[in-house]
C-alpha cells in the first residue's frame, strides 16, 4: 500500500502562477514578434473575466498567440527546460520544499495535480522530485507537433478530481493507495480537498480560508 501526497502547483508549490510566464518565456526566445499579440492576450483575459469564453479556451487562444498553433517537440524541449530551471531556481515556496522532503521521507508517492499544461509542469515536477504528474494535456498531431488545443479536460475544479481518480485507476491503486494528503492554495480544488484524507490549505486566499475553517482543514503558511 502506498500513501500519497498530492500537490497543486501554481501558488501552492510556486510563489507565482506559471502559465502566462511560460508563454512569454517561449515567445521571447523563439519568436519575439509574437509579443505584438499581447493586446489580444489581454483581450482574451477580459473575455474570460466577462464569462464569454471558458478557462480552457483562454489557454488555447493564448498558446496559439504566443507560442503558435503547432510546435515540434524538438523546438519546445529547450524552452521547457530553460523555463523549468528558472522556476525551480526562483519561484518555489520554501515551505513546499520542506513538505516535499517530509513526504518523501515518509515514503509517500509524490503526485503533482495541476491545471497547468503537463508539457512544462512535468519538467518542474521532475526537478523537484515528484513521482507522477497529472495536468492539462495537449493534443499531438500526426506530424508529432504540439497543438494549441487541450487534450481532454482542463485539469481544474471538478475535472481535476476526475483526472486524479482516473490516474488512481490507471496506476492500479484503486482501493490500495492508502492515506492521501492534498495541498492547494485555491477553493477551486474543493472537490479534491473533500476527497482527500488530509486536506491542507496552503497560503489560502479568503474563500479557501473560510472553507478550511468551516471544514476543519489544516492551514499552512509556506512563505
3-state secondary structure of 95: helix
At 140-157, the pLDDT tens digits run 998 999 999 999 999 999
Residue ranges, the chain, pLDDT below 70: 1
For residue 68, the model assigns a pLDDT of 95
For residue 187, the model assigns a pLDDT of 97
Q: Among 65, 69, 70, which residue's Cα sits nearest to residue 40?
A: 65
For residue 117, the model assigns a pLDDT of 96
Q: Which three cell numbers stand for residue 107?
A: 515514503
Residues whose CB is less than 8 angstroms from the CB of residue 175 and which lie 6 or more positions away in sequence, other chains included? none
**Alpha-carbon torsion, ordered 189, 193, 199, 200, to 10 deg:** 10
Domains and CATH numbers, the chain: 4-220 (3.40.50.1000)
Alpha-carbon distance 162 to 196, whole Å? 13
Mean pLDDT of the chain, nearest integer: 96
Alpha-carbon distance 193 to 59, whole Å? 25
Question: How many angstroms separate the first and last alpha carbons of the chain?
Answer: 32
At 9-31, the pLDDT tens digits run 999 999 999 999 999 999 999 99
Amino acid at each position: 500500500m502506498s500513501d500519497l501526497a498530492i500537490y497543486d502547483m501554481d501558488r501552492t508549490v510556486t510563489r507565482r502562477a506559471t502559465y502566462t510566464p511560460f508563454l512569454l518565456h517561449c515567445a521571447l526566445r523563439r519568436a519575439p514578434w509574437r509579443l505584438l499579440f499581447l493586446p489580444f492576450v489581454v483581450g482574451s483575459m477580459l473575455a474570460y473575466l466577462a464569462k464569454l469564453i471558458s478557462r480552457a479556451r483562454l489557454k488555447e487562444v493564448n498558446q496559439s498567440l504566443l507560442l503558435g498553433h503547432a510546435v515540434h517537440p524538438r523546438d519546445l524541449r529547450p524552452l521547457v527546460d530553460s523555463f523549468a530551471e528558472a522556476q525551480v531556481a526562483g519561484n518555489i515556496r520554501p515551505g513546499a520544499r520542506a513538505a516535499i522532503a517530509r513526504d518523501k521521507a515518509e515514503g509517500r508517492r509524490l503526485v503533482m495535480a495541476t491545471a497547468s499544461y503537463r508539457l512544462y509542469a512535468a519538467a518542474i515536477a521532475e526537478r523537484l522530485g515528484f513521482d507522477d504528474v497529472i495536468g492539462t494535456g495537449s493534443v499531438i498531431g500526426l506530424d508529432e507537433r504540439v497543438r494549441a488545443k487541450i487534450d481532454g479536460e482542463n485539469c481544474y475544479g471538478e475535472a481535476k478530481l476526475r483526472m486524479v481518480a482516473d490516474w488512481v485507476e490507471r496506476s492500479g491503486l484503486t482501493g490500495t493507495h492508502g492515506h492521501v494528503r492534498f495541498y492547494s492554495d485555491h477553493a477551486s480544488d474543493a472537490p479534491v480537498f473533500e476527497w482527500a484524507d488530509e486536506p491542507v490549505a496552503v497560503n489560502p486566499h479568503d474563500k479557501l480560508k473560510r472553507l478550511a475553517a468551516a471544514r476543519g482543514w489544516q492551514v499552512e503558511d509556506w512563505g
